[in-house]
Structure 1
Amino acid sequence: MSVVDSAMTREVLRDISKRPLDISRLNVHVMRGVVHLTGRVDKVRGNAGFLDLQEEMNIVVRILRQKPGVRDVCCEVDFAELPVPDKLTKIRKRRRWY
């Protein structure tokens, strides 16, 4: 890995960490100006508001593509949240009717 790619990796991680995302299981690699994002992304603990992880990652990719020196961004990230219908069924299963 070249010095330029190492510096770009640090900048990418710095930019992603500004977003309300848990990136502890996210892998970031830069090779010849191409940013590779792999792994898993989750919501930050304590984030009470509604957060769409897919939309948030789209914002991150747009931000990264605007950086000078970035030729392309390959995003192969899994999202740790449940789909909306699954969340509703889990809530309904926990609810007790009297």
Structure 2
Amino acid sequence: MRRRVDESVGDIASLVTLGLAEPQAKPAAPPEPAPAPDMPTPEEQANELLLEEALVAAGVGKAAGDEEVIDALARLEPTEVQAVARWLKTKKPDPETK
């Protein structure tokens, strides 16, 4: 059995070329996915870990609201975070022995 071909049908590009159809608008590209909210970068995660280790070494426990401060400090440059960690780890002289 031979297949029938309908020659009156064409693709849109051919119909536009022949002047039988208007050019079709191209669909808009899908929007870029938004970054995940509050997801720290690997650098920020390393900074946060360094700060938490320094606090533990200094014997400082976290109080209410400290997590937000640690998160803010973790967004600093690594060298700045290292300085803060170093300050926390520096032994302070005992005020009674002065």
Q: How does the TM-score come out when normalised to structure 1?
A: 0.32
Q: Which has the higher strand share?
A: 1
Q: How does the TM-score come out when normalised to structure 2?
A: 0.32
